[in-house]
Amino acid sequence: WEIISDANDNVEVRKAVQAANLDYDSAEVQFVALFDQEVDNVEVAQRTFRIIEALEDCDDVQNVYSNVSLTDDVAAALEAEDQ
């Protein structure tokens, strides 16, 4: 299961989970996009993933977040290219 709360409430939520004697794997704060950006073009998706990969490869970058959502057609086209 997953608990979503305001980042400022992380400590209080963790204490409540512990008080309920529930085990959990992680109590980390993550960024959650408020909306997804749908990508319906293969070329745009490829460029987007190249940028994301370049950011992930940068030693000065700790985390990369994305709100990209691929259409089924674009996801299938990208998967076909990988094979």
pTM assigned to the model: 0.67
What per-residue confidence (pLDDT) applies to 20? 96
Instruction: Give residue limits of the domains in the chain.
Output: 1-30, 33-83
Residue 21's CB is within 10 A of a number of other CB atoms, namely: 6
Per-position pLDDT tens, the chain of length 83: 889 899 899 999 999 999 999 999 988 888 888 999 999 999 999 999 999 999 999 999 999 999 999 999 999 999 999 88
Cα–Cα distance measured from residue 80 to residue 83, given in angstroms and rounded to the nearest whole number: 5
What per-residue confidence (pLDDT) applies to 11? 94
